[in-house]
Structure 1
């Protein structure tokens, strides 16, 4: 049976960066997922670039999709640029998909 964290990760696989056709989890944009008491979820994430024109859209999509999980009572998405994102943070699968290997 999947844990709540597993379900959250599964949801994050459905959120794609519009500029790079890969999901944000495989891109390494999600730095941390914390589940507090009463299933309040905190996500710390970044973007591929601080001036990303779709920043608000991606954050809203993450918040909305996690909120739709039945067990989740609240979601907080914190955007950070420390440490800065690099292509080294991508999973092997994302690198293969983008022909970086």
Structure 2
């Protein structure tokens, strides 16, 4: 059976076409559930109206389906916890110039 780590690793190859940072480091991945050969992934985006949701969702499905033991992938977009810059990985915050010491 595929592991959450394997899924996260392949998700690091998925990018928002408008932002050259992978969706894991952007903080878009909210939840991963694995049941047998099915992977359900909850993602958020920078805004509910993001025009790239279809492209990102398709990319996620295609990449996760390449993993051994995965037969089905469901991608769900959720916005009940809106994305903020706090969701960025620490490395990404530094790359993007967010310096917490500035307050």
In 2: Cα distance, 1:88 partner to 1:4 partner: 26
SS at match of 2:64: helix
Structure 2: which 5+ runs fail to align? none
Give the Å deviation of 1:68. Answer: 1.0
State the Cα RMSD in Å: 1.2
Give the Å deviation of 1:19. Answer: 1.8
Selected match of 1:58 from 40, 56, 59 = 56
Which residue in the other structure is 1:14 paired with?
13
SS at match of 1:21: coil
Which residue in the other structure is 1:85 paired with?
83
TM-score (norm 2): 0.89
What do residues 29-76 of structure 1 show as CA deviations (whole Å, max 9, x unaligned)?
00000111x221110011111111111000110011001112112111
Contact 1:44 1:78 in 2 (8 A): yes
Contact 1:4 1:71 in 2 (8 A): no
Count, aligned residues = 98
Which residue in the other structure is 2:25 paired with?
26
Structure 1: which 5+ runs fail to align? none
SS at match of 2:24: coil
Runs of 4+ in 1 over 6 A off after TM superposition: none
- The structure with the larger Rg is 2
